[in-house]
Amino acid sequence: MNFGTSYKQNPINGSYDVIVIGSGIGGLGAAALLAKHGGKRVLVLERHYTAGGFTHTFRRPGYEWDVGVHYIGDIFDLDAPLRTLLDDVTDAQLEWADMGEVYDRIIIGDQTYDFVKGRENFRQRLHDYFPNERTAIDRYLQEVDATSDRARMFFAEKALPVFLSRLVGGLMRWPLLRKAKRTTLETLSSLTSDKQLIGVLTGQFGDYGLPPGQSSFFIHAMIAKHYLEGAAYPVGGASRFAATMLPVIEQRGGAVYTNAEVGRILVENDRAVGVELADGNQLRAPWVVSDAGALNTFQRLLPPETSAAPHCQRLLRHQSESPAHISLYIGLRETAEQLGLSKPNLWVYRDYDHDRNFARIQADPNAPLPVAYISFPSAKDPDFEQRYPGRATIEVISVAPYAWFAPWASDPWKKRGDEYEALKEQLTGKLLEQLYACCPQVEGRIDYAELSTPLSTEHFMGHPHGMIYGLAATPARFAERWLRPQTPLRNLYLTGTDICTLGIAGALFGGFLTASAILGKNLMPAVAKGAKRAQARKTKGAATG
């Protein structure tokens, strides 16, 4: 597979129209769209040894794991915006495996609740679980639909030129902001007083990182709606995102370089003119796009005299970081079928009060973990058995405050000492306890286990304090008008989740907004045509193959 050209072995030659900092899906998506529909030669620079951001995989002998992709929604309708966009930027080479009727299983105490495929099926299943709350459940789904439906105009405003946004932006944003300015808990509490129902409806809160009392209802509604028609998993694993997007960039004169860390953005006369790599090499281009996140861009990548300017300091004043996380990667010398591992994700909680449990872990390292998210990638991916016969993988994830790990932040990777390793062993034990409670058949059969911490995320992904989702999905985040592709510096653009929403879909649509803003047009008609052509070529190839 093609995961980029290593800068360590290959110099960067030629001139480019656009330099993209970071190869997450927002960066690759913007690059592919600019190349395919704008005729731009795009250079993507990635600090890691492989492209893809949170869609990359890592390997150990006999195993591989996805670090950030666990399932994707809105994928089965070929005309749905997300599927259309994905087919366009991958030339329809990314294939999908249906996760089946149940995509998420919420386990709270000794009760289990299945989130099932199809809006009406979902509604009926919740009615079965909470027969006295039918009206509240129906109103909840109406709120999810109404909030999600307002998102299109909200995001479209972000791609408008600044002068036009000032004229009509308020009208485009306000219908959504009325929903987004309320927390998830405030909205759900206006619909029902049943704490257990609220606990179940917010059982996916790990998908946006904040418990219901802190998160914007907008992000909750977007995530809930995203999965209502079911979920899928990329055939071949998460690395297929980058493997199918890089050719779209490279075949049009672009390039993706790994091991190419950007030290700073070059600024002249309030205009971005290129970048300087960590080794001092300077590269120039008419446009610079940052997929490094808003915090990294404004606090680390801009020259000190620029980032210290009052207008830059004001931008991040009301924003907070998303939580950090730990992830236990497990390998077993038996197949998912032999072990009885199924496709649905498990969300495991002690009780229904997510906010209280989340607050406890922030204050007390000895408190029980507020959530354990358990994913079975080898069960979801029909190609896994071909790549790793006789093996299976599991991932167990939870939140963990960065402060627990801060004492070792300046130590080199894999050289953080015995106390750090002891902390990792303790946390591994807590995650295994949750796994064995749900899957007792794997106890005593684990062949390999490795824990990543917020320091791992900070080291490999460059996310300050190990943030998993960039800026926190609070009401304040969605109220900020500056979180858009255009920045106060001319020809410097942002892309990815910080200017849109979270996850793969949010990052990719962030890339779409950025490409549209740079090219000065709505790219969706061209994207739709590109997707249709790619789908037709794929169908024709399958018929003649």
In the chain, what are the helix, strand and coil shares in percent, each to the nearest 5? 45, 20, 35
Q: For residue 544, what pLDDT is reported? A: 66
> What are 419's two structure tokens?
């106390």
Distances (CA, A) of 480 to 154, 315, 448: 12, 8, 44
377 Cβ contact list (under 8 Å, min separation 6): 65, 66, 70, 233, 237, 384, 393, 394, 395
Q: For residue 545, what pLDDT is reported? A: 58
What ranges make up the beta strands (E) of 46-127? 57-60, 63-66, 72-73, 96-98, 102-108, 111-116
Helix and strand element counts for the chain (H, E): 22, 21
pLDDT tens-digit series, residues 462-517: 888 888 888 999 999 998 888 999 998 999 999 999 999 999 999 999 999 999 99
- The least confident of 116-120, 184-188, 352-356, 414-418 is 414-418
Query: At which residue do the structure tokens 């020809």 appear?
Result: 491
Element at 266 (helix H, strand E): strand 262-268
pLDDT of 63 higher than 70: yes
Q: How far apart are CA 10 and CA 274, in angstroms?
A: 20
Tell which phi-psi region holds residue 230, choosing left (phi > 0), alpha (psi between -120 and 50) or beta: left
Q: How far apart are CA 277 and CA 301, in angstroms?
A: 11
Tell which phi-psi region holds residue 157, choosing left (phi > 0), alpha (psi between -120 and 50) or beta: alpha
Distances (CA, A) of 355 to 27, 130, 433: 33, 22, 22
Domains within the chain, CATH numbers bracketed: 5-54+78-93+237-318+480-544 (3.50.50.60), 120-222 (no CATH)
By the 8 A CB rule, do 321 and 527 touch? no
441 Cβ contact list (under 8 Å, min separation 6): 339, 340
Q: For residue 1, what pLDDT is reported? A: 60
Read off the pTM: 0.94
Q: Are strands 57-60 and 492-494 parallel, antiparallel or unpaired?
A: unpaired
Q: For residue 175, what pLDDT is reported? A: 83
Greater pLDDT, 171 or 176: 176
Percent above pLDDT 70 for the chain: 96
Quick one: DSSP state of residue 394? E
pLDDT tens-digit series, residues 275-301: 999 999 999 999 999 999 998 999 899
For CA atoms 124, 126, 129, 132, the dihedral sign is: negative
510 Cβ contact list (under 8 Å, min separation 6): 26, 29, 30, 494, 495, 496, 497, 498, 499, 500
What value does the mean pLDDT take over residues 226-232?
Answer: 97
What value does the mean pLDDT take over residues 379-398?
Answer: 97
CA 2 to chain centre: 21
Distances (CA, A) of 244 to 38, 91, 348, 358: 19, 7, 34, 38
